[in-house]
Amino acid sequence: MEYRPLGRTGMQVSVLCLGCMMFGGRTEPDESMAIIDRAIDAGINFVDTANVYSRGRSEEVTGEALKRSGKRDRIVLATKVHGRMADDDPNAQGNSRRHIIAQCEASLRRLQTDYIDLYQIHRPQSSIPIDETLRALDDLIRAGKVRYIGASTFTGWQLVESLWVAKELGLNRFVCEQPPYHILDRRIERELLPMLQTYGFGVIPWSPLAAGLLTGKYQRNQPKPEGSRFGAMWESWPHIRSRYVDTFFDVVEGLAPLAEAKDITLAQFSLAWCIRQPGVTSPIIGPRTMTQLEDNLGAVEVEISDEDRAAVDALVPPGLMVSPFYEADFGPHPHRV
């Protein structure tokens, strides 16, 4: 396993981060814990979850797995706060001091730990001044409950504003950002990624396999695989149909020969491309099964040549995207120009 510094912290993290969104939800607790154990044995020391994943269940399963492993002290444990945690309480969401501090305490209990290595704001919230959020996070650091703080899916200007406010008020600053980034959506290369490199942020891309679209399991004019995310959500979440377009299949079919030439899976090629992109620290993988984890682990050994990069650029030029990702699902994408 290869390790890289997380931004300016000096802390070393594995080039793959284990995302725990599926654990305690689509993935049963026993298999979830087995996946965490296998990832740790393979050298992954970076684990990311969030309070909102299955309303705390992911944190509970992750915490129990780390407790059983006896290796909590070796793990860089990350979680996030922002999402709604109760349907009947208007304050059980967002980036206010009240919500952040209450949810940090709840996450510590669920994770069965005394401290969180990396506590991240899951989404920006324009209705709350960033100093309100940073002061609460700074207090958690000074109390010893959090080691470092980060952001997820912020725009470049929001992160620069956070740096200015932190400097002006003498507060701890964000050390990393989690942006959506994969071959099918390269928009962060326009502005956000250069900004993150300039100011020393760690970069932890989420969805490096585009919610499974870059695994190769979806084929043009073929039924969606049994148990797949797109198959399971096709009727209940119609917005995802916007991703299932000819331009997506054109790219995947263009990538397939590149993976075949290396005798690897398309998922391994796509992950390796993300790992080797300038400025990237650790893409977040989100395996639902042990088989998926084993396949993901193989990406660490894959080399991406200049010829490979040029071939990818010919399919999806730097800074551009394929198909209407995110707008249909979440509203305007934060990195759209």
The reported pLDDT for the residue numbered 228 is 63
Quick: pLDDT tens for 59-117: 999 999 999 999 999 999 999 999 999 999 999 999 999 999 999 999 999 999 999 99
The 3-state secondary structure of 300-321, one letter per residue: HHCCCCHHHHHHHHHHCCCCCE
The reported pLDDT for the residue numbered 322 is 85
Active site members: 53
Q: What is the tally of structural domains in the chain?
A: 1
- Give domain status of residue 272, yes or no: no
- Cα 177 to its chain centre, rounded Å, is 9
- Give domain status of residue 221, yes or no: no
- Give domain status of residue 64, yes or no: yes
* pLDDT of 6 strictly over 60: yes
Quick: pLDDT tens for 198-247: 999 999 999 999 988 899 887 777 666 776 666 555 455 555 555 666 78
Quick: pLDDT tens for 268-321: 999 999 999 999 999 999 999 999 999 999 999 999 999 999 999 999 999 998
The reported pLDDT for the residue numbered 167 is 98
Alpha-carbon distance 156 to 88, whole Å?
33
- Give domain status of residue 74, yes or no: yes
- Give domain status of residue 168, yes or no: yes
The reported pLDDT for the residue numbered 331 is 43
Share above pLDDT 90 across residues of the chain, in percent, rounded to a whole number: 83
The reported pLDDT for the residue numbered 241 is 57
The residue segments making up the domain with residue 135 are 3-178
Q: Domain with 134 in it: what CATH number?
A: 3.20.20.100
Alpha-carbon distance 258 to 311, whole Å?
8
Rounded average pLDDT over 259-263: 97
- Give domain status of residue 217, yes or no: no
- Cα 147 to its chain centre, rounded Å, is 19
User: What is the SS3 assignment for 297?
Assistant: helix
Rounded average pLDDT over 185-197: 96
- Give domain status of residue 85, yes or no: yes
- Name the β-bridge partners of 27: 23
- pTM value is 0.91
Name the E strands within the chain. Answer: 3-5, 12-14, 17-19, 46-48, 76-81, 116-121, 146-152, 174-178, 202-203, 284-285
pLDDT-derived band at 330 (thresholds 50, 70, 90) equals: very low
Rounded average pLDDT over 155-184: 97
pLDDT-derived band at 248 (thresholds 50, 70, 90) equals: confident
Helices (H), 112-219: 130-142, 156-169, 192-198
- Give domain status of residue 240, yes or no: no
